[in-house]
Structure 1
Amino acid sequence: MLHDGHVHSPFCPHGSKDSLDSYVEKAAARGLKSITFTEHAPLPERFIDPVPEQDSSMDRQVLDEYLRAVETVKEKYKNIIEIRTGLEIDYIEGFEKETTDFLNEIGPFLDDAILSVHFLKTKKGYVCIDFDEHAFQRFAEDCGSLKAAYEAYYDAVEKSIKTDLGLYKPKRIGHMTLVHKFKKLFPAGFDDTPLIRSILDAALKYQVSLDINTAGIRKMHCGEPYPPLPVIKEAFSRGIPLMYGSDAHMSSDVGKDYETVAPFLK
């Protein structure tokens, strides 16, 4: 089945205002059989969004509206394409209890969900590592080196897999190599394969699937999916479940670059 498991919506404050209908219609036009809307879930109440516009996720006040809107298009297009209601949940170290409480509340209303790492804590506070190249550079400087920054990111991803977030914890890990987003600007200069393999080990042990996210292909300073093809091949060979995700923040990106990773999707 052709499924796009990582699609955003007009409820994303930093995305486009393309309608839910336009996302669905683009998916159907590209031959997809199903999609999951995975809007950025509201951040924990105590957490202060570190990006300048504080627009990393939807506000809690519009969550119910989002859920109703997805249910509307789900019904409208039920004879054309399957639509799943989902969220992209942030794993933020130090906010595990709040995240668990939120999942316990919202989980019964979801068909699907992704658990992702965007925010990491440094000595100077939390940083959204993928906001822009300047934020990433500050993060690396705060960590002391680029290698330490990579290690901190992968450590957080591994913790997201291993941490108990309750019954409704997402079973899929989002863009596990998001730290590669600015790799052309900041070449690593070292092999991060052992760090990645540790995450694959954890994925196998804890029986989670991986988001095979093609958004990185469309990022000028990355040019590869998250994770890159050699990692996708290894994960596939090890029997780790993989799910394609466009990470579309505009309707034209739904289903984009599917053919690049299709050989490794069951």
Structure 2
Amino acid sequence: MKRDAHIHSPYCPHGTKDSFELYIEKAIQNGFTDISFTEHAPAPHGFIDSVPTQDSFLNRNSLEPYIFELQKLKKMYAKDITIKIGLEFDFIEGYEKEITQLLNDIGPTLDDSILSVHFLLNEKSYTCIDFSSHVFLDFAEQLGSIENVYSLYYKTVQNSISAELGAFKPKRIGHPSLIHKFRYAHDTLVDDHEMIVKTLQLMKEYNYELDVNSAGLAKQYCLEPYPPQAYITLAKEMGIPLVFGSDAHRAEDLHQYYKQVYNNS
């Protein structure tokens, strides 16, 4: 099975309007047998998007059309490719009950899902850690150091793994080293080896899949997959299921770096 299980869509508020068909046809042409559209889920009730553009989450009014359109396409392309309907849910500290309710409401309609961390909590405010290098550096200043940001990020990811979020909690952890996105935007070399290993150990303990995410290779301040290749290899040795995801937000980026990342795992 050749699979890409982290794909966004024309419904992404911060993506492109490339049609589902563009993604699907490209996947078929490249010999993929299984794809998952995993659009950003709606925000948990009461959470206010902290990015300036207010476009981190799928609008709740778009959820039904998103699922309905994919249901039709699943049937249309059934002979050529398996299409799974999914969402990428945000784990946000302090909103566990609201996330559980969201999962309970939406989960029964999905074939696949991912649990990711994009927002970090500092006292009572939230920062989208991958929005921009400027936001990242400002947040590091708030926390006192780059190291403190890394530590908070991995702690939050680890909390997402152990959190009780109900029967429809995703079983795949998205881009667990996303904090590396701006590693070349600052001059601090952070030794996060133990933090990554602990995260993988928790994933193994809780029987989670790893999103082997190639998108970081396309980011100018990252230039490596999430997680780095050595930890993809380690995860495989630990027996953690590896699931490739291009995290494409446009058809052009679908399956980006698949051979480099997944074939070397």
Q: Same fold (TM over 0.5)?
A: yes
Q: Deviations over 1:155-188 (max 9, x none)?
A: 0000000001000000000000000001011244
Question: Which residue is equivalent to 2:190?
Answer: 190
Please tell me the residue identity of whatever aligns with 2:84: R
For the residues of structure 2 that align with 1:187 and 1:193, how far apart are their CA atoms?
18
Question: Which residue is equivalent to 1:175?
Answer: 175
Question: Which residue is equivalent to 1:99?
Answer: 99
Q: Measure how far apart 1:45 and its partner are.
A: 2.4
Aligned with 2:51: secondary structure? Answer: coil
Please tell me the residue identity of whatever aligns with 2:209: S
For the residues of structure 2 that align with 1:151 and 1:256, how far apart are their CA atoms?
29
Aligned with 1:185: secondary structure? Answer: coil
Question: Which residue is equivalent to 2:54?
Answer: 54
Q: Deviations over 1:26-56 (max 9, x none)?
A: 1111111110000000001211101111000
Q: Deviations over 1:55-87 (max 9, x none)?
A: 001101110010001111111111111100000
For the residues of structure 1 that align with 2:104 and 2:123, how far apart are their CA atoms?
31
Q: Measure how far apart 1:124 and its partner are.
A: 6.1
For the residues of structure 1 that align with 2:93 and 2:85, how far apart are their CA atoms?
26
Question: Which residue is equivalent to 1:251?
Answer: 251
Question: Which residue is equivalent to 1:158?
Answer: 158
Please tell me the residue identity of whatever aligns with 1:54: Q
Aligned with 1:46: secondary structure? Answer: coil
Please tell me the residue identity of whatever aligns with 2:165: L
For the residues of structure 1 that align with 2:185 and 2:117, how far apart are their CA atoms?
21
Aligned pair in 2 of structure 1 residues 187, 226: CA closer, same or farther (>3 Å)? farther
Question: Which residue is equivalent to 2:136?
Answer: 136
Please tell me the residue identity of whatever aligns with 1:42: P
For the residues of structure 1 that align with 2:232 and 2:188, how far apart are their CA atoms?
20
For the residues of structure 1 that align with 2:136 and 2:101, how far apart are their CA atoms?
30
Written as runs of structure 1 = structure 2, the 5 A alignment for 1:201-212 is 201-212=201-212
Q: Measure how far apart 1:190 and its partner are.
A: 2.9
Q: Is contact 2:86-2:112 (8 Å) kept?
A: yes
TM-score when normalising by structure 2: 0.98
* Segment of structure 1 superposing worse, 201-210 or 120-129: 120-129
Q: Measure how far apart 1:263 and its partner are.
A: 3.0
For the residues of structure 1 that align with 2:67 and 2:195, how far apart are their CA atoms?
37
Aligned pair in 2 of structure 1 residues 213, 187: CA closer, same or farther (>3 Å)? farther
For the residues of structure 2 that align with 1:126 and 1:262, how far apart are their CA atoms?
33
Q: Deviations over 1:98-156 (max 9, x none)?
A: 00011111111000000000001113610000011111111111111100000000000
For the residues of structure 2 that align with 1:78 and 1:240, how far apart are their CA atoms?
29
Please tell me the residue identity of whatever aligns with 1:63: L
* Segment of structure 1 superposing worse, 185-194 or 2-11: 185-194
Runs of 4+ in 1 over 3 A off after TM superposition: none
Question: Which residue is equivalent to 2:238?
Answer: 238
Q: Measure how far apart 1:262 and its partner are.
A: 2.2
Once the two structures are aligned, what percentage of the paired residues are identical?
49
Q: Measure how far apart 1:261 and its partner are.
A: 2.0
Question: Which residue is equivalent to 2:38?
Answer: 38
Aligned with 2:262: secondary structure? Answer: helix
CA-based RMSD of the aligned residues comes to: 1.0
